[in-house]
Structure 1
Amino acid sequence: MQTHRRACHLCEAICGLKIEVDNNQIVSIKGDEQDPFSRGHICPKAVALKDIQEDPDRLKNPVKKVNGQWVETTWDDAIELACEGLFQVQQKYGANAVGVYQGNPNVHNWGLMTHSANFLGLLKTRNRFSATSVDQLPMQLLGYWMFGHQLLITIPDIDHTNYFLMLGANPIASNGSLMTVPDVAKRIKTLQARGGKLIVIDPRKTETAEVADAHHFIRPASDAAFVFALINTIVGEGLTRMDRLAHHSEGLYAALGAISKVTPEVAQAECGIEADTIRQIARDFANAGKAVAYGRMGACTQRHGTLAQWGIQLLNFVTGNTDRVGGSLVANPALDLIAAPNSKPGSYGRWHSRVSQKPEALGEFPSAIMAEEIQTEGEGQIKAMVTIAGNPVLSTPNGQQLDKALAGLEFMVSVDLYINETNRHANVILPTTSPLEHDHYDLIFNIFGVRNQAKYSAATLPKPAGCLDDWELMDKLAACYSTKIGKPARPSMPPQMILDMGLQMGTYGMASEHKLSLEKLRQHPEGIDLGPLRPSFPDRLQTADKKIQLAPAEVLQAAANYVADLLNDDKRAGAEMMLIGRRHIRSNNSWMHNSERLVKGKNRCTAMVNPADAARLNLQDGYNVRVRSRVGEITLPVEISNDVMPSVVSIPHGWGHDKSGVRLQVAVAHAGVSCNDLTDEQWLDEPSGNAAVNGVPVTLIPVAQ
């Protein structure tokens, strides 16, 4: 029996695991109490790593489609087929005829992070899409505009704050997002034990709201109005405190002027929270001494996501809680991608999409416009797709439209462990080693950690003969495509070498007392604690003048439009019912429903509605309801609950495994329906282009039983 220590890579929490292995078989997976960051915490998904490893549906070898059937093939044949198909499309139609979609697991697999850019760069296509624009794009864009780098995202200092105001986030179910915070429940208890408060603002009484000191329902997509009113109350009552950063910022008065008309009364009409409650929250926040506001999925994936996140940044700033212990801080990771020589700070509007003229943001177009770029004929039309670790048919707006679009492609390549709802349309699928068959270092989520730490995880199980790690696959694709286009392949180094160089040259490297290196991390598989977050502005700022830019021009224009609409009663008229999502601790977006231990039990794919709406619409608990939007409809069981506010229906995302050709036996048996058959590809945040999957207007119709 062998004991292996490693980090769980499935979500952002980076929990330490202790895995018992006997004769290359997993015996048990437990939380590692020696991990200084997660301290023994574990969630059900980590245990399901055993299920992924042993899953008979997981692809171990590449497959190609022959006469409509999947056939295993050799790596040489598969890579040649993939590159030749893409090459022929680009030769015939041009570089932009190939589109690329990268799913969420790309940032959880370090080999893809270090090595996919070489291959994708050879394609020279502007039609790049990813899960970013169905997720955190507003936060990254504001990092670029305000702080000078898309990865400079401020993190709540949960371990030292006195007042935690949380909007549209549910870390007890998600394990934290853009706030790498393992064992968040214990950290919340510790916050409360020292006299601090957690206040949750959400259309649903989430698992996190259940343990909060107070929870307030808010109408979906109205977070910006709420936060603007908080700021105006604080400014109007003389409660501002900007301290040292006042001299390291630009645009404060322009920012405050843009939102000055959003009084608590105006906000109440929009968000449903009473004006006096808004004033009291503002006073409590300003007087807490150490306070922090934080918003996540619900505050991002809505039509005013950029404004909501901008408002959160302004609220922290005017109360002196930006770059302050107990407020919002930025991490100082051992391998710092922000300071890396080839780091990409960000971009916006360098070019626009062909059909609807959407601006690129951070080098990508909104994922919501993929289908129109495939289906609309003309020069620059996407004729082939590369998908890497993604399933946009289930995870992006109007999935049915995208599904039809993918079926009409001339060629498609997918890098994935499974045959899913998206890559069932592919010509060739290239699987990599399983999560436990390759090593891991978290390049991204240490940047968002609530504490600085470093942990390298060696492979738990040996790599089967002939299988490729993700970085090896990317290198082979790059070498093959380089030959096709007549360019020499760029030399690359293994990710382990990149990591070792980055560690030794970083803040905690050989010039420091820590003297970090890959070898030192190998000697400490439980991980190494590098201390709490500390104030680091203005030094850490990447703006040209080393100042926080509080009033980006694009945001001010969006704010002007938004405030004008708030003051216009006709514009403010809301829908009868609005759709929001729902996360569960035993789900991980669309791809872990093939684990029996994660899907067993009560059906979780339900339409949760308030009792008042159920009575008004003649809905009965457990009976089916038809939910309809502009783009489609789905039918699923009703779940009546006081946990969701009136006029809101909550449906979890990631389900809908009922399409032909999918090879996910367990998931198909628990198929559910996809809420993204309701979400609208035209319902986007401005100016980011992020998908607004929360707040979509829908109609509920009882189904005759």
Structure 2
Amino acid sequence: MATDATADRSDTGEQSHFRICPLCEACCGLEIRTRETPRGRAIVSIRGEARDPFSGGYLCPKGVALKDLHEDPDRLRQPMRRRADRSGFDPISWEDAFAEVAARLPALRERHGNDAVALTIGNPASHKIGLFSYFPHLARALGTRNLFSASTLDQMPKQLACGLMYGHWLSVPVPDLPRTDLLIVLGANPMVSNGSMWTNPDYRGKAKALRARGGRIVVIDPRRSETAQAADEHLAIRPGGDVFLLLGLLHTLFDEDLVKLGKLADHVDGLDALRAAAADFPPERCAAHCGIPADAQRRLAREFATTERAVLYGRIGTCTQRFGSINSWLIDALNILTGHFDVEGGLMFPKAAAFAANTLGRPGQGKGVSTGRRHSRVSRAPEVMGELPISCLAEEIETPGEGQVQALITIACNPVLSSPNGERLARALDSLDFMLSLDPYINETSRHADLILPPPSPLEDWHYDMVFAQLSWRNHARWSGAVMPTGSSIAGKRDEHGDPVDPRDPDQRGGDERTVSPAPHPEWRTLLRLAAILNGLPHDADLQPVDDAALMAELKRQAGDRAEALFAMLDGDEGPARWLDLGLRAGPYGDGFGARPDGLSLKKVQAAPHGIDLGELQPRVPELLRTASGRIELAPPPLLEDLAHAEAALRLPPGDELLLIGRRETRSNNSWMHNLPVLAKGRERCTLLVHPDDAARAGVADGEPARLSNARGSLIAQISISADMRPGVVSLPHGWGHDLAGSRLGVAAQHPGVNMNRLLDEEARDPVSGTSILSGIPVRLSAATPAPGAAPH
């Protein structure tokens, strides 16, 4: 793939490169300026690209951090192999690394069976077309039922509800924010995230425009978050009470005759079942459990139903709790029942230019989705979307018997920090016969691996958003090329003493700059190589025939006898480029391989450096539906059945325990971002937010350490007293705890923070989706009195 460099500026010798930021779901367009120097290409500046039709010049601090990531001396640039004495890692060649995989992994699988090898993948894969498009090759080659991902720590309830209601896991409706007059935000903080399962750069600007045209924003959250601070109204919900608020709203719609299906009346099933389910949940009964008075619930339901253009949006706070699946279902149901679905200003479906299942095949009907096709061996947790709950991984490794996990492949994930009871998982990882990590760092999880295979820097690779175009606030097609030649930064070099050179330290730049590693392997090639090895090919086999065969099989599935002719027409030399050309040309805006000359192709998208605007969201019901009935399923049986458990919970007193929730910050989307100086600088971020009344009761002071504990464990965190917290609720951010021996994250270790997952129960899950309960955790707060010499946990 050619580098996406544009015009030189002769006065400075600088070049501009237009790039999609891969560091969060906002996917902002960047202009990266570089200059050629005697030491190679150097990054001069990174800023938002004003000509990008999708993000319009918006940029958050993470985009600027791409320079730090590219130059990070801790980022791996060649394979690493654990020493026999387990004292650390040594660099090896790619050939030796794949030879070792070939020597160990197939034999282990032959001895113990396919399920003895587990596979887990993290959310950075969604930002990388090479990882996302070639991960299925590896999963199929392994043939294991032990497949895990970060989804069951995040969005699985949302995808499950959408799959059951609309027929596909990625048919996820998003708010049409530019055209709405009332936005209700539940358990989300888009001022910080710029959308989650909603690719929406510059939420702040769009929200400001909404209010300027006379619209309103209501935020429902236990904390007066950044989004709430810029809203018209904040309702401080009790953690875990979302299901009771939503049921109270639903009851009000039926009770006060506010339901108006409008054009959807002919496209829904299950209205009567939903009406019957709502009957037992009046707001007066739900108020104590959600912490919002009944009159406020009824007022909100009326305002939502009677505002012509309105939308209710909920995200991670609604997902990572016991009734996460019900919450996700009811949020969409409320939009449907009030006529705010598939219409301007409501919840609408994007139409992606490529890879969206709801644009392929027969429109308006399909097979739908199924769950529980298999179960985890120990806890018997059901599979959802092909995955088992990641909180089951440790027990699957530890528990003897047929199908016990003996080996693990981790891809772009750090479950020791991100999943409940990471200490148990860390111990389990050390008991594996073989562990392979595809990761840019030696982090808290990959430190346990026998081999680590690193990816190239994001700036050394080209990109197209496979996933987030399916979740975008506006339809678009954008491609970005590599900015830096492979192996281009001086980071990863050694000085005259053999120590790593830190590119951030100008005093270190004069040493011997012998390159430690050869050019990095593209991630798609690494995955395809591993799949080939597992399929019995030599570790150094030619991969081109393997890639060709997979692509030809897909073409035959789509085009039958025309497959060979279409194969010859595809652009892109190898890897994901050809798959992207196929996706674009066969997609809803595509050229149909010449049938529609004005349509999209890879060449056409590459020729538009600032991206192609495909317009505002448009109504898509019924053509996008892929349910077996061809209708929206308003009352999916698994979710309707789980309401019995909500009813049982409502009969119990709400309790008065102090409850712990997480939170998200702009500068720490993923744990590895804590190692980037531009994101790590400034105030301490891993602090425990506590309401003044709760701090006074516990005898703790602002800026001082305090102990947070429960039956699962305890930790010591720095207190930050905040009146923005609902009384009885405390908050810690996820993804911290960078003080574990063996990890190599130098900047992060300077501000390690504490890991709230020490207080979480890995067996506590939403049983419908398998998602871990990460919010509303009962805890005790007390003054810190650690024993002399005790570690600050």
Q: Given the two structures, how large is their TM-score scaled by the length of structure 1?
A: 0.97
- Aligned partner of 2:33 in structure 1 is 20
Q: Is 1:483–1:489's contact at 8 Å kept on the other side of the alignment?
A: no
Q: Is 2:367–2:626's contact at 8 Å kept on the other side of the alignment?
A: no
Aligned ranges 1:331-350 → 2 under 5 Å: 331-338=350-357, 339-340=359-360, 346-350=369-373
Q: Is 1:150–1:345's contact at 8 Å kept on the other side of the alignment?
A: no
Find out whether 1:38 has 2:55 as its counterpart.
yes
CA separation in 1, counterparts of 2:70 and 2:369?
A: 37
Residue among 372, 376, 381 paired with 2:404: 381
Q: CA deviation at 1:84?
A: 3.0
Find out whether 1:517 has 2:601 as its counterpart.
yes
Residue among 623, 638, 643 paired with 1:554: 638
- Aligned partner of 1:353 in structure 2 is 376
Please tell me the residue identity of whatever aligns with 1:27: V
Find out whether 1:449 has 2:472 as its counterpart.
yes
Q: Is 2:162–2:329's contact at 8 Å kept on the other side of the alignment?
A: no
CA separation in 2, counterparts of 1:7 and 1:255?
A: 42
CA separation in 1, counterparts of 2:598 and 2:422?
A: 49
2:179 alignment partner, SS class: coil
CA separation in 1, counterparts of 2:596 and 2:286?
A: 50
CA separation in 1, counterparts of 2:151 and 2:100?
A: 29
- Aligned partner of 1:676 in structure 2 is 757
Aligned ranges 1:517-666 → 2 under 5 Å: 517-566=601-650, 568=651, 571-574=652-655, 576-666=657-747
Find out whether 1:100 has 2:119 as its counterpart.
yes
Alignment size in residue pairs: 702
CA separation in 2, counterparts of 1:345 and 1:72?
A: 47
1:350 alignment partner, SS class: coil
Residue among 280, 284, 289 paired with 1:265: 284
Find out whether 1:365 has 2:388 as its counterpart.
yes
Please tell me the residue identity of whatever aligns with 1:604: R
Find out whether 1:140 has 2:163 as its counterpart.
no
Please tell me the residue identity of whatever aligns with 1:466: A
Aligned ranges 1:219-258 → 2 under 5 Å: 219-258=238-277
Q: CA deviation at 1:623?
A: 1.1
Please tell me the residue identity of whatever aligns with 1:232: H
- Aligned partner of 1:428 in structure 2 is 451
CA separation in 2, counterparts of 1:575 and 1:494?
A: 56
CA separation in 2, counterparts of 1:648 and 1:89?
A: 48
Return closer, same or farther for 1:144/1:701 CA change in 2, 3 Å cut-off: same
CA separation in 2, counterparts of 1:90 and 1:277?
A: 58
User: Which whole-Å deviations, capped at 9, do the CAs of 1:373-402 have from their partners, x for residues lacking one?
Assistant: 111111111111100000000111111111
Residue among 275, 297, 311 paired with 1:278: 297
Please tell me the residue identity of whatever aligns with 1:283: R
Please tell me the residue identity of whatever aligns with 1:453: H
Find out whether 1:48 has 2:74 as its counterpart.
no
- Aligned partner of 1:689 in structure 2 is 770
Find out whether 1:483 has 2:536 as its counterpart.
yes
CA separation in 2, counterparts of 1:108 and 1:476?
A: 21
Q: Is 1:322–1:329's contact at 8 Å kept on the other side of the alignment?
A: yes
Aligned ranges 1:404-415 → 2 under 5 Å: 404-415=427-438
CA separation in 2, counterparts of 1:451 and 1:102?
A: 28
CA separation in 1, counterparts of 2:480 and 2:129?
A: 11
Q: Given the two structures, how large is their TM-score scaled by the length of structure 2?
A: 0.86
- Aligned partner of 1:4 in structure 2 is 17
Please tell me the residue identity of whatever aligns with 1:197: R
Residue among 323, 326, 336 paired with 1:304: 323
Q: Is 1:629–1:679's contact at 8 Å kept on the other side of the alignment?
A: no
1:255 alignment partner, SS class: helix
CA separation in 1, counterparts of 2:155 and 2:117?
A: 25
Range 234-243 or range 431-440, more displaced: 234-243
CA separation in 2, counterparts of 1:40 and 1:563?
A: 48
- Aligned partner of 2:500 in structure 1 is none
Please tell me the residue identity of whatever aligns with 2:214: G
Return closer, same or farther for 1:461/1:345 CA change in 2, 3 Å cut-off: farther
Please tell me the residue identity of whatever aligns with 1:13: A
CA separation in 2, counterparts of 1:540 and 1:688?
A: 23
Q: CA deviation at 1:577?
A: 1.1
Q: Is 2:360–2:587's contact at 8 Å kept on the other side of the alignment?
A: no
Q: CA deviation at 1:243?
A: 1.1
Return closer, same or farther for 1:575/1:386 CA change in 2, 3 Å cut-off: farther
Q: Is 2:670–2:735's contact at 8 Å kept on the other side of the alignment?
A: yes
1:257 alignment partner, SS class: helix
For structure 2, list consecutive stretches of 5 or more residues without a partner in the other structure: 1-13, 488-517, 551-573, 787-793
- Aligned partner of 1:507 in structure 2 is 588
Q: Which structure is larger by alpha-carbon Rg, 1 or 2?
A: 2
Q: Is 2:164–2:368's contact at 8 Å kept on the other side of the alignment?
A: no
Return closer, same or farther for 1:344/1:423 CA change in 2, 3 Å cut-off: farther
Range 480-489 or range 61-70, more displaced: 480-489
Q: CA deviation at 1:512?
A: 5.4
Return closer, same or farther for 1:60/1:618 CA change in 2, 3 Å cut-off: same
Return closer, same or farther for 1:513/1:452 CA change in 2, 3 Å cut-off: farther
Please tell me the residue identity of whatever aligns with 1:528: I
1:579 alignment partner, SS class: strand
CA separation in 2, counterparts of 1:447 and 1:205?
A: 30
1:359 alignment partner, SS class: coil
CA separation in 1, counterparts of 2:165 and 2:197?
A: 17
Q: CA deviation at 1:485?
A: 10
Q: Is 1:626–1:633's contact at 8 Å kept on the other side of the alignment?
A: yes
Q: CA deviation at 1:89?
A: 2.1
Q: CA deviation at 1:631?
A: 2.1
CA separation in 1, counterparts of 2:45 and 2:411?
A: 30
Return closer, same or farther for 1:562/1:207 CA change in 2, 3 Å cut-off: same
CA separation in 1, counterparts of 2:400 and 2:384?
A: 24
1:140 alignment partner, SS class: helix
- Aligned partner of 1:70 in structure 2 is 89
1:53 alignment partner, SS class: helix
Q: Is 2:246–2:331's contact at 8 Å kept on the other side of the alignment?
A: yes
CA separation in 2, counterparts of 1:682 and 1:697?
A: 15
User: Which whole-Å deviations, capped at 9, do the CAs of 1:168-190 have from their partners, x for residues lacking one?
Assistant: 00011112111110011000011
CA separation in 2, counterparts of 1:599 and 1:531?
A: 37
Q: CA deviation at 1:129?
A: 0.4
Please tell me the residue identity of whatever aligns with 2:15: Q
- Aligned partner of 1:199 in structure 2 is 218
Residue among 44, 54, 57 paired with 2:74: 57
Q: Is 2:102–2:538's contact at 8 Å kept on the other side of the alignment?
A: no
Q: CA deviation at 1:514?
A: 4.9
Return closer, same or farther for 1:341/1:475 CA change in 2, 3 Å cut-off: farther
Q: Is 2:188–2:314's contact at 8 Å kept on the other side of the alignment?
A: yes
Q: Is 2:690–2:729's contact at 8 Å kept on the other side of the alignment?
A: yes
User: Which whole-Å deviations, capped at 9, do the CAs of 1:31-65 have from their partners, x for residues lacking one?
Assistant: 00000111100010110000011011110000111
2:311 alignment partner, SS class: strand
For structure 1, list consecutive stretches of 5 or more residues without a partner in the other structure: none
Please tell me the residue identity of whatever aligns with 2:675: N
Return closer, same or farther for 1:514/1:635 CA change in 2, 3 Å cut-off: farther
User: Which whole-Å deviations, capped at 9, do the CAs of 1:317-342 have from their partners, x for residues lacking one?
Assistant: 11011111111111001113214579
